[in-house]
Every structure is written in structure tokens, then in C-alpha cells.
């Protein structure tokens, strides 16, 4: 069955989408919701004031007419304590969002009645929205399972990666065996079809494992998990995890794991053809400084360096990194985020030109003057995807955030993996040890930072040696796999069809 046949059957089924209120999480939910809307489902999308403008821009203003008509935005108040919580303290943020339960119950009650919702921000006509058939909520909103149960509809979880999911599903057992927060003897943890996970590679949230164990436990009750990945990329891990779930589930309805990503394909336009995907992307005209600088560099010569939206290096690490980069002699485009001089709201705002002196203090003396012909240091929001697609880019030094990893694979760019926290260490294992498309960075046990010599070594290895070429070939093959999976008849499309099939016999 093709996805189109399926969607015709379920046209109009109404789902409630509830992302965790943080930027990276909305970034996962927004393209997914757009894809559901384009396929004919109606969606009530829950957001919060800090994210309302972005959500509205992406889901309503920059969306096709049909998709726009199918999405309704509802804005929840964040619990008062949320503002007090340090944005990097996810455990505290998760605890606070528990207090949104009443708002969700109130919304669900209203949605179950015809024309029950009046606080519609995006002006879709209420009559198009029948009673919701499921809640799709985020990984840190496990309590939404209670609400789904109360309203007798299934909960699905939208999740980044199969390997992290496998760890979450295993936490219940690890906890029962007394292996958390870390096994006492420093032993590794075993999850299905993945190399043993060393204690140092566990997500840094685990030192407070209670909440994550709870997240994992509630996943056993979900109807399914929709993963922002591709079956072919992690087939053994997905099959192994599904097998483990079948074996240990005590419920009649066993949760289904469906890879339906990568959602980035919802955000890009490209023409069909035999050339690599990065050559077929279509971007709007952009006068961005990075792209202008790149256009003057030789092909495949530039290392792109970016550590995502949250992570920053301490000053000593910046110095070591910069000296290794300079010693490598490789051209670079480095998106630098440092704590702003004037301690702004989140302390991580991109710095402005007036902060030049403050910026220079993060580098070895005169580094910026010495490297000005070799590299560009960029301190604002960079057009990462367009940069990765640029023919002058030869490698990507990344913190292994999942979006960066999928973008790099899709653009066929080999990586240097420098994970910092959360799921990033597991993503490195996937890229380095399983897919062989990234080189790891090593830190001496006795050092607190990665030394400049190591930075120089790994950069040269990727950019100048045969090893880099072999990885480039591999990652270009995977780029085709990703494109095929998300295209017509591909595995991600078929999995979406399976997800839709749940409602095909219902009448709307």
C-alpha cells in the first residue's frame, strides 16, 4: 500500500501534538506536524508563549494552504516556576512541566466536544477537527500517558534516535539490577545490538536517574514510538529493540517502533537527479557572510565547525582547540558561541561586533589576525544546512547533536565527532563505530581538556589523508539511503503509512 492510498482513507483524523517546551524539541515536532498536515490529518499543536512566534511562522505562515488549514495552534501557560529553572538543567525543567497536566486535561475535554475549542490562535475552522484519535507527545512528557489513558486514546512518543530509545527502554531493568546511576564497578551497560555503553558515554542526565527511569517505564505503555531516523541506518538496533519489547511487554498492545525520519526533508527543496543530494538542493538567494566567504575557497578544502545551539566550550578548551586548528593549517569556518560579555537572558546569545575584545580573549594571542586568510570565525546564527551543502566543505567537526548528524549524512559530509553531553556520546558511537563516517577525538585521562596536538592530528586525518576519503565515500552512500527512505515508497514513508493505518477503519 502506498502512503497516498492510506492517507486518503484516514483523511481528517485529528491528532494532538505536544512537544516539550524547548527549542530543539519544537524543531523535531514542527516538520513532523507539517508532514502529517500535508498528508491530510488535522493537528492541534500545543506550544507555549516563548515558542509561539516561531511555531506560528513555521506551521501557519510558511506552510502550504492545505497544510495550514489542517493545523491549529493552542498556547499553554508555562508553570510559573519554569522561568526560575536553569535552561541547561533538564531534570528541573521536566519536573516543572509536570504541572501542565491540568491544562492538557482541560484542552482534551474541550476537544472531545464538537466546536469545543475557542482559544484558537491560527484561525482554522473548528468543524474540521473531530475528537482526537491520539496524543503524540515528547520524550520528557511521560505523564501525558495518564491523560491519554483518561481519554481512552493511544499515546505515541516522538523521539530522536533508536539507540537512545533502546537505552531508555532498558533503564527499568538496569535500575532493578542496581546499575544506576552508573554500575558500581565501572562496567559497561548492554543494550540490544549496540556496542556496550561505557559509564562515561551515558547521557549526563543519568546521575539523577529517577526521572529518566520513569520516562522509560511509561514508554512501555505507549502505543508506539516514532523515531526521527531511518530504518536502514540502524536496522539491527531497531529490530533488536522491537524484539526485546515483544519479549518483555506484559500488555496486549505492544509498542511499535517506527523510524519515520529524518524530518529535515520536510524543510528542504531539491530537484530529482543522479548527482549527490547536496548539489540538487534549492535555496533562496542568501547574502550570508559565511556563504560569501566559502565561495572564494577551493573545493572540499574547508572544515566546518559548529557545536549546535546550546553547547559552549570553557575558555581553556577554546585556547587548545584554536591552537590545534591553526597548527593543522586547514581552512575553517568556525561558528563560535561563547557566554556573552553582557550576561544576557540565557547567557548564550550570539555575540555582536562590539564584543570583539571579549571574543579575542577566548583565543590564543593574535590567533584571529594570524588565521584571517585561512578561516572565518562567525558568531551569529549560521545557515548550517546551506554550509554543509557547499562544494568547498570537506568535513564537519560537530558535537553530534542528532540534527547535525543527520544533516551531515544527508549532505554526504564526513565528520569529526566531539560529543559534549546528553545523547551526543551515543550518537558518536553510531557514527564512529557502527557507520564509520566520523573520526573520534581522544582526551587523555589525566587532562581536563582535549589537547591542541590531538585537535591537529584528527583534523589532518580527516582533511588530508585517505581515511577521510574513505569516510566521504561511505557517507555519500548513506546520503542516498536517507533520501530514498524519505521519498515515495521509501521505508520512512511506509512506516508513516503503518502509523496512519491505525485509524483507517474509523469514520471521519
Q: Which of 33, 93, 180, 422 binds ligand UPG (CB under 6 A)?
A: 422
Q: Which of 233, 382, 416, 471 binds ligand UPG (CB under 6 A)?
A: 382
Specify the residue, 18 or 129, whose C-beta has the smaller distance to ligand UPG.
18
Would you count residue 94 as binding ligand UPG (CB under 6 A)?
no
Task: For residue 2, give the C-alpha cell.
Answer: 502506498
Q: Which of 170, 424, 491, 495 binds ligand UPG (CB under 6 A)?
A: 424
Whether residue 344 has a cis bond before it, omega within 30° of 0: no
Specify the residue, 268 or 315, whose C-beta has the smaller distance to ligand UPG.
268
Q: Which residue is nearest to ligand UPG (CB)?
A: 401
Sheet architecture: strand order including 155-159: 71-76, 42-48, 14-18, 134-138, 155-159, 224-227, 256-259
What number of other Cβ atoms are within 10 A of residue 446's Cβ?
A: 5
> What distance in Å separates the CA atoms of residue 418 and residue 317, rounded to the nearest whole number?
12
Helices (H), 60-121: 65-69, 90-97, 101-112
Whether residue 181 has a cis bond before it, omega within 30° of 0: yes
Specify the residue, 412 or 452, whose C-beta has the smaller distance to ligand UPG.
412
Distance of alpha carbon 413 from the chain centroid: 18
Would you count residue 479 as binding ligand UPG (CB under 6 A)?
no
> What distance in Å separates the CA atoms of residue 438 and residue 93, rounded to the nearest whole number?
32
Q: How far is the CB of 333 from ligand UPG (least distance, A)?
A: 11
Specify the residue, 326 or 407, whose C-beta has the smaller distance to ligand UPG.
407
User: Which residues inside 333-352 make contact with ligand UPG, applying CB under 6 A?
Assistant: 335
Q: Are strands 134-138 and 256-259 parallel, antiparallel or unpaired?
A: unpaired
Interface pattern 440-469 for ligand UPG (x via CB under 6 A)? ------------------------------
> What distance in Å separates the CA atoms of residue 381 and residue 361, rounded to the nearest whole number?
21
Span from 70-78, 212-220, 280-288, 307-315 in contact with ligand UPG (CB under 6 A): 307-315
Q: Are strands 155-159 and 331-335 parallel, antiparallel or unpaired?
A: unpaired
Q: Which of 308, 394, 414, 468 binds ligand UPG (CB under 6 A)?
A: 308
Q: How far is the CB of 337 from ligand UPG (least distance, A)?
A: 8
What number of other Cβ atoms are within 10 A of residue 403's Cβ?
A: 20
Span from 68-76, 217-225, 399-407, 437-445 in contact with ligand UPG (CB under 6 A): 399-407
Q: Which of 58, 385, 415, 430 binds ligand UPG (CB under 6 A)?
A: 385
Specify the residue, 117 or 268, whose C-beta has the smaller distance to ligand UPG.
268
Residue 156 contacts residue 139 (beta carbons within 8 Å): no
Specify the residue, 21 or 308, whose C-beta has the smaller distance to ligand UPG.
308
DSSP letter for each residue of 416-436: EE---STTHHHHHHIIIIIS-
Would you count residue 160 as binding ligand UPG (CB under 6 A)?
yes
240: burial class by Cβ within 10 Å (0-12, 13-18, 19+)?
middle
User: Which residues inside 19-78 make contact with ligand UPG, applying CB under 6 A?
Assistant: 24
Span from 229-237, 273-281, 301-309, 464-472 in contact with ligand UPG (CB under 6 A): 301-309
Would you count residue 403 as binding ligand UPG (CB under 6 A)?
yes
Which residues contact residue 463 at a Cβ distance below 8 angstroms, ignoring those fewer than 6 apart? 301, 303, 328, 330, 394, 395
> What distance in Å separates the CA atoms of residue 448 and residue 457, rounded to the nearest whole number?
18
Specify the residue, 223 or 405, whose C-beta has the smaller distance to ligand UPG.
405
Specify the residue, 70 or 492, whose C-beta has the smaller distance to ligand UPG.
492
Nearest C-alpha neighbor of 18 from the set 7, 9, 29: 29
C-alpha dihedral over 39, 45, 50, 54, to 10 degrees?
Answer: 20
Q: How far apart are the first and last CA of the chain?
A: 20
Q: How far is the CB of 380 from ligand UPG (least distance, A)?
A: 7
Would you count residue 168 as binding ligand UPG (CB under 6 A)?
no
User: Which residues inside 74-93 make contact with ligand UPG, applying CB under 6 A?
Assistant: none
Q: How far is the CB of 316 from ligand UPG (least distance, A)?
A: 21
Specify the residue, 117 or 198, whose C-beta has the smaller distance to ligand UPG.
198
Would you count residue 423 as binding ligand UPG (CB under 6 A)?
yes
Distance of alpha carbon 238 from the chain centroid: 18
- Binding positions for ligand UPG, rule: CB under 6 A: 24, 160, 306, 308-311, 335, 381-382, 384-385, 401-404, 407, 422-424
Amino acid at each position: 500500500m502506498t502512503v497516498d492510498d492510506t492517507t486518503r482513507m484516514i483523511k481528517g483524523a485529528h491528532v494532538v501534538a505536544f512537544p516539550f517546551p524547548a527549542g530543539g524539541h519544537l524543531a523535531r515536532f514542527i516538520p513532523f506536524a507539517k508532514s502529517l498536515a500535508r498528508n491530510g490529518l488535522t493537528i492541534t499543536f500545543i506550544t507555549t508563549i516563548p515558542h509561539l512566534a516561531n511555531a506560528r511562522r513555521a506551521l501557519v505562515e510558511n506552510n502550504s494552504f492545505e497544510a495550514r488549514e489542517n493545523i491549529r495552534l493552542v498556547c499553554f501557560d508555562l508553570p510559573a516556576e519554569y522561568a526560575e529553572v536553569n535552561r541547561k538543567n533538564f531534570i528541573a525543567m521536566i519536573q516543572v512541566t509536570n504541572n501542565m497536566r491540568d491544562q492538557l486535561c482541560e484542552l482534551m475535554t474541550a476537544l472531545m466536544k464538537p466546536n469545543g475549542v475557542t482559544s484558537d490562535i491560527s484561525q482554522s475552522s473548528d468543524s474540521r477537527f473531530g475528537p482526537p484519535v491520539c496524543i503524540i507527545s515528547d520524550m520528557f512528557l511521560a505523564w501525558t500517558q495518564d491523560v491519554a489513558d483518561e481519554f481512552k486514546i493511544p499515546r505515541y512518543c516522538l523521539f530522536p534516535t533508536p539507540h537512545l530509545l533502546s537505552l531508555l527502554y532498558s533503564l527499568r531493568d538496569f535500575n532493578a539490577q542496581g546499575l544506576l546511576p552508573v554500575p558500581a564497578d565501572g562496567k559497561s551497560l548492554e543494550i540490544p545490538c549496540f556496542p556496550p555503553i561505557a559509564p562515561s558515554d551515558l547521557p549526563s542526565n543519568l546521575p539523577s536517574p529517577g526521572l529518566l527511569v520513569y520516562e522509560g517505564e511509561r514508554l512501555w505503555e505507549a502505543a508506539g514510538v516514532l523515531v526521527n531516523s531511518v530504518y536502514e541506518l540502524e536496522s539491527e538496533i531497531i529490530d533488536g529493540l522491537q524484539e526485546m519489547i515483544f519479549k518483555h511487554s506484559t500488555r496486549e498492545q505492544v509498542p511499535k517502533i517506527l523510524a519515520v525520519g529524518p524530518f529535515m526533508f520536510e524543510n528542504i527543496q531539491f530537484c530529482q537527479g543522479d548527482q549527490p543530494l547536496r548539489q540538487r538542493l534549492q535555496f533562496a538567494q542568501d547574502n550570508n557572510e559565511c556563504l560569501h566567504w566559502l565561495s572564494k575557497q577551493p573545493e572540499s578544502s574547508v572544515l566546518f565547525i559548529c557545536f549546535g545551539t546550546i553547547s559552549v566550550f570553557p575558555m581553556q578548551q577554546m585556547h587548545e582547540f584554536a591552537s590545534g586548528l591553526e597548527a593543522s593549517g586547514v581552512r575553517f569556518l568556525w561558528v563560535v558561541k561563547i557566554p556573552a560579555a553582557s550576561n544576557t537572558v540565557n547567557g548564550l546569545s550570539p555575540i555582536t561586533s562590539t564584543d570583539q575584545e571579549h571574543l579575542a580573549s577566548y583565543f590564543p594571542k593574535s590567533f584571529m589576525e594570524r588565521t584571517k586568510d585561512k578561516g572565518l570565525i562567525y558568531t551569529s546564527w549560521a545557515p548550517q544546512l546551506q554550509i554543509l551543502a557547499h562544494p568547498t566543505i570537506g568535513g564537519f567537526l560537530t558535537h553530534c547533536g542528532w540534527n547535525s548528524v543527520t544533516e551531515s549524512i544527508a549532505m554526504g559530509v564526513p565528520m569529526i565527532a566531539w560529543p559534549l553531553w546528553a545523547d551526543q556520546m551515543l550518537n558518536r558511537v553510531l557514527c564512529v563505530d557502527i557507520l564509520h563516517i566520523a573520526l573520534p577525538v581522544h582526551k587523555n585521562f589525566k587532562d581536563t581538556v582535549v589537547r591542541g596536538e590531538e585537535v591537529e592530528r584528527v583534523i589532518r586525518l580527516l582533511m588530508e589523508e585517505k581515511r577521510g576519503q574513505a569516510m566521504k565515500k561511505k557517507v555519500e552512500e548513506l546520503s542516498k539511503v536517507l533520501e530514498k527512505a524519505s521519498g515515495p515508497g521509501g521505508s520512512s514513508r511506509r512506516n508513516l503509512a503503518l502509523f496512519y493505518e491505525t485509524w483507517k477503519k474509523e469514520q471521519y
